[in-house]
Structure 1
Amino acid sequence: MANNFYYKFIKPDSALSDFVESIGMFHNQSAEEKAVVVMPDGRVDLFFSQSASEPFHVTLIGLETLPEQRSILPHTLAFVISFKPLAVEYILSTSIADLLNTAKDVAPDFWGFNTDDLKDFDVFYQKAARKITELLPDEIDERKRTLFELIYSSNGQMSVTELSQKVCWSSRQINRYFNQQLGLSLKAYCTILRFRASLEHIAQGQLFPELKFTDQTHFIKEIKKFSGAAPKELSKNKNDRFVLLSVLKQQ
């Protein structure tokens, strides 16, 4: 947290962990815009927000593959549910292939939320958790559950061939699923998760590759591709521009 910018993210109960990574909030309490860099993190975000100049609205943000400079408006309060990709099919019941590196507004009364729900984060958290619990599927394709478990547990470092063999699902079918549901290939998604895991290391001051990179040059190149900055600059995180990195430092 820095100055007038506050954020908080907590993990859900284990019953929701296949579908939800975290439920959180941020509040720009300043009368000035807050400059941030949004980096790919492999999550699908559902924002409930309002500011001094914008009414309550709900926004669904697809996966990102590139860093983006954004400004958070003055006096913006936002609560966010960060979903894992499995939730796209089973909780949100929609494809987000057309939302790659973009977003769309959804109905302002989505899931029965309204501006009053931004008054208390704990109350919001409980309401969101109840709603998602209601939407949990009776059955799930175990190949998909196992696939995402392996992707996450390996930090995106398992090859497409190895993943395909372990879940008994052809790489062609897996890539079709990824492209239809998420808008990118399995390999592209795994690369994003490896970057995300590298951020956790950078947050702890480890500026050399801890994962399967060819060498230091490859590591730096990939970090720059997804963040727009070298590992050393990221680690300094001046003015908390890289909010994701700030959150990882708290964990």
Structure 2
Amino acid sequence: MILKKEVISPKQPYFVMNTSQYYKAVVMNYGISHFYAFRRNRTIDSSIFAIPDGSIDIYFCCDKKNPSAYVCGTVLHPEIAFTGNNQYLFGVRFLPGNCIKSKNASMSDFVSSRVPFLDVMGDKRLFEGIITSRNFENQIKLFMHSYLKSYYDINTIGNRENLNRFLVSNIIQNAGQMKIEELAEKTKYSVRYINKVFVQEFGLTPKSFSKMIRFQNLLSNLNELESGMFDTNLTEITMKIGYYDQSHMIKDFEHFTNTTPSKYMGLLRQTQYNKRLIIV
């Protein structure tokens, strides 16, 4: 079995499990991981949970009577993201460690928070265009047309931003297995300084961010396991992803999901996860 060595795209599997069809358009550029759209499954009454992913989401609830849009940072533990039925939602998920291009906001402002979109972006025209549409491709075009303007306008990069990009890049490329002492050696900065600038920018310590990336890498590998292969490959997955042993992996998984890997695999099969996920 070939294990994925890096997080290709931050995942929120409970978003998929609680919908009848979940549409996903992969970008992997401009700091964006992918766009998604879904309608709540009317047969499922449970709330949709978000789990830690080190990423920022912007989602638009396209409800005719009460439309809304929010910028949401990564959660630190499982939290309710959505409630209610038959809501059509359009969202954009940024790559881990990337933030919306705004002069007045950094990733640390959104950790475990949900901030009204208009308070951050102030683009009422974009808001109204997206919430009145039910066409996924059109919504993507509307968002990118507005987003790229600010993306290219904000192009000044200081030394600290270069450092933060370097730190995030190395953590992700090593799938969360790089120690902060190694980052300090590479950058020639002290461990204390690296912790300080990372927390200021991202609202997380490098260690916490690394744990999220390692967990997302684990999730990515579990999601792609063929039915019945979980027990056979568990030890191999555990060791290659960077956990000390299975007990360590299970403890981390429970912390981030409130369930065990085996129960999670059962949910994937029960909800027919891969059939609900539609890549466009």
Shorter-chain TM-score bucket reads: 0.7 to 0.9
Q: Which moved more, 1:211-220 or 1:164-173?
A: 164-173
**Distance verdict in 2 for CA 1:116–1:126, change over 3 Å:** closer
Match of 1:63 in 2: 74
Instruction: Answer whether contact 2:58 2:117 (CA < 8 A) is retained.
Output: no
**Distance verdict in 2 for CA 1:219–1:87, change over 3 Å:** closer
Instruction: Answer whether contact 2:28 2:95 (CA < 8 A) is retained.
Output: no
- Indicate the percent of aligned positions where both proteins have the same amino acid: 19
In structure 2, distance between residues paired with 1:69 and 1:90? 26
SS of the equivalent of 2:47 reads: strand
Match of 2:179 in 1: 159
In structure 2, distance between residues paired with 1:213 and 1:135? 40
Q: 1:103 and 2:114 equivalent?
A: yes
Shift of 1:121: 1.1
In structure 2, distance between residues paired with 1:31 and 1:233? 21
Q: What do you get for the CA RMSD once the two structures are aligned?
A: 3.1
* Mapping for residues 172-183 of structure 1, pairs under 5 Å: 172-183=192-203
* Mapping for residues 17-28 of structure 1, pairs under 5 Å: 19-28=31-40
In structure 2, distance between residues paired with 1:3 and 1:199? 17
Match of 1:227 in 2: 257
**Distance verdict in 2 for CA 1:165–1:3, change over 3 Å:** closer
SS of the equivalent of 1:113 reads: helix
Q: Which moved more, 1:84-93 or 1:231-240?
A: 84-93
Match of 1:44 in 2: 56
Residue 142 of structure 2, aligned match among 102, 121, 127: 127
In structure 2, distance between residues paired with 1:224 and 1:161? 27
In structure 1, distance between residues paired with 2:17 and 2:35? 20
Instruction: Answer whether contact 1:88 1:181 (CA < 8 A) is retained.
Output: no
Match of 1:82 in 2: 93
In structure 2, distance between residues paired with 1:185 and 1:4? 33
Q: Which moved more, 1:107-116 or 1:197-206?
A: 107-116
Q: Which moved more, 1:85-94 or 1:170-179?
A: 85-94
Shift of 1:98: 4.8
Q: Which amino acid aligns with 1:82?
A: R
In structure 2, distance between residues paired with 1:89 and 1:29? 30
Q: Which amino acid aligns with 1:104?
A: V
Match of 2:206 in 1: 186
Q: Which amino acid aligns with 1:220?
A: I
**Distance verdict in 2 for CA 1:4–1:215, change over 3 Å:** closer
Gap regions ≥5 residues in structure 1: none
In structure 1, distance between residues paired with 2:243 and 2:185? 23
Instruction: Answer whether contact 1:31 1:75 (CA < 8 A) is retained.
Output: no
Q: Which moved more, 1:162-171 or 1:189-198?
A: 162-171
In structure 1, distance between residues paired with 2:114 and 2:195? 22
**Distance verdict in 2 for CA 1:32–1:211, change over 3 Å:** closer
Shift of 1:95: 3.1
**Distance verdict in 2 for CA 1:138–1:100, change over 3 Å:** closer
In structure 2, distance between residues paired with 1:2 and 1:179? 32
Q: Which amino acid aligns with 1:166?
A: K
